[in-house]
C-alpha cells in the first residue's frame, strides 16, 4: 500500500551556486562592534526625551524591587555601559550608594 515516498530533487546536482571564492578566516572587529554600541545609539540617537523617561521608569521599576545591593549595582553598571547618563539617572532613582534604611535592614532579618 501507499506510504511516504521520497521526492526527487528538482535540481539533481544539489547544492548551491557560488560565483566567488570561499575562504575561512577570522572575523575582524571594527570600531562599532561591542556589546553596548547599538543599545547606546538607540538611547542617544533615536529615543526622544519621553521615550528615555519611559525606559528609565521601566528599568527603575524592574530593578527597584530587588533586595540585593550587589544585583542592583550590577544592573546600574550594565545600564551605565549603555549610556553614562542613563546609568547615573538609574542610580539616583534607586538611591544606590546610600545607606539602607532601618526598615530595609529589618526586612533582611
Tens-place pLDDT, residues 16-41: 777 777 777 777 777 777 889 999 99
Question: Residue 82 in contact with residue 43, Cβ under 8 Å?
Answer: yes
Domain extent, residue 65, equals: 37-96
Phi and psi of 104, rounded to 5°? Answer: -65, -40
Assign residue 67 the CATH number of its domain: 1.20.1370.60
Domain total for the chain? Answer: 1
Distance of CA 90 to the CA centre of its chain: 16
Reported as a single tens digit per residue, the pLDDT across 54-76 is 999 999 999 999 999 999 999 99
Residue 16 lies in a domain: no
Amino acid at each position: 500500500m501507499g506510504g511516504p515516498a521520497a521526492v526527487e530533487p528538482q535540481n539533481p546536482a544539489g547544492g548551491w551556486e557560488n560565483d566567488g571564492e570561499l575562504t575561512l578566516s577570522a572575523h575582524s572587529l571594527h570600531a562599532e562592534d561591542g556589546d553596548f554600541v547599538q543599545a547606546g545609539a538607540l538611547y542617544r540617537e533615536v529615543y526622544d526625551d519621553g521615550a528615555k523617561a519611559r525606559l528609565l521608569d521601566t528599568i527603575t521599576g524592574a530593578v527597584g524591587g530587588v533586595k540585593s545591593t550587589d544585583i542592583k549595582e550590577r544592573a546600574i553598571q550594565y545600564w551605565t555601559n549603555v549610556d553614562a547618563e542613563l546609568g547615573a539617572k538609574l542610580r539616583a532613582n534607586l538611591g544606590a550608594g546610600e545607606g539602607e534604611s532601618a526598615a530595609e535592614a529589618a526586612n533582611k532579618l
